[in-house]
């Protein structure tokens, strides 16, 4: 299951996994065609009911072996001067989507003998980010969620890791950012390849890892 599958990175993940032979359930907040998806579902993973409904449908389709939580968003703003609602918005879209998805998925993965979860955090989670305080805080929370889940789910042989991208070379970023910021941007397909490795059997010893995928940026 790939949550946030209608964004640039989500689409790249779905396509990469499908090319590797996986059957992928692509989940987005709005209906959209996602190349490579075997099934597409529309749901709000930031709500418990939405996440639980998704995994009931996934379980009806077949055994779930991996979950990739790509869903997220960005908003600028400082601690002092940011909008009053920005912290809630960032926690909702970045942390709660992963939180509820992981809670709904974990029992299914454990029941089937194990599996893998990959959360998409951000390089911004590692230290102070001027002008994006709420975003950085919400992504830092994703790191702690990943580490805690890795410890909780180890007895069930469920691996939980996070990737930390920097600037990704998406169409939206190419329009919004100056050329110097894009010079070292990482293509979505290259980030997707790291995710594919983390859910593969070859990555079985890796759990609780926070893996930078920001290239030289």
pLDDT at 176: 78
Contact 70, 10 (CB under 8 A): yes
Please give the domain boundaries of the chain with CATH numbers for all domains: 2-212 (3.40.50.720)
pLDDT at 60: 95
> At 162, phi and psi to the nearest 5?
-130, 145
Contact 196, 155 (CB under 8 A): no
pTM of the entire structure?
A: 0.95
Digit-coded pLDDT (tens) for 23-78: 999 999 998 999 999 999 999 999 999 999 999 999 999 999 999 999 999 999 99
Contact 90, 141 (CB under 8 A): no
8 sits in which H/E element: helix 8-19
Mean pLDDT of 180-187: 83
Residue 207: name the closest of 104, 117, 124 by CA: 117
Digit-coded pLDDT (tens) for 13-32: 999 999 999 999 999 999 89
Quickly list DSSP for 174-200. Answer: HHHS-HHHHTTPBPHHHHHHHHHHHHS
Contact 36, 22 (CB under 8 A): no
Digit-coded pLDDT (tens) for 120-170: 999 999 987 788 999 999 999 999 999 999 999 999 999 999 999 998 888
pLDDT at 202: 98
Share of the chain above pLDDT 90, in %: 86
pLDDT reading at 108 higher than 70: yes
pLDDT at 107: 96
* Burial classification of residue 70, based on how many CB atoms lie within 10 Å of its CB (0-12 exposed, 13-18 middle, 19 or more buried): buried
pLDDT at 217: 66
Residue 31: name the closest of 40, 22, 23 by CA: 40
């Amino acid at each position: 299951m790939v949550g946030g599958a209608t964004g640039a990175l989500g689409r790249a993940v779905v396509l990469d996994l499908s090319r590797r032979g996986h059957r992928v359930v692509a989940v987005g907040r709005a209906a959209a065609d996602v190349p490579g998806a075997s099934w597409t579902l529309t749901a709000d993973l930031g709500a418990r009911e939405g996440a639980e409904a998704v995994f009931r449908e996934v379980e009806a389709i077949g055994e779930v072996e991996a979950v990739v939580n790509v869903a997220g968003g960005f908003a600028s703003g400082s601690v002092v001067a940011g909008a009053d609602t920005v912290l809630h918005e960032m926690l909702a879209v970045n942390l709660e989507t992963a939180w509820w998805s992981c809670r709904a998925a974990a029992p299914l993965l454990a029941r089937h003998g194990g599996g893998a979860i990959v959360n998409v955090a951000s390089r911004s989670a590692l230290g102070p980010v001027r002008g994006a305080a709420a975003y950085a805080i919400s992504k830092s929370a994703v790191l702690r969620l990943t580490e805690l889940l890795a410890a909780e789910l180890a007895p069930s042989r469920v691996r939980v890791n996070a990737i930390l991208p920097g600037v990704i070379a998406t169409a939206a970023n190419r329009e919004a950012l100056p050329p110097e910021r894009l010079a070292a941007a990482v293509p979505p397909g290259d980030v997707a390849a790291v995710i594919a490795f983390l859910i593969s059997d070859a990555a079985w010893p890796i759990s609780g890892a926070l893996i930078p995928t920001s290239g030289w940026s």
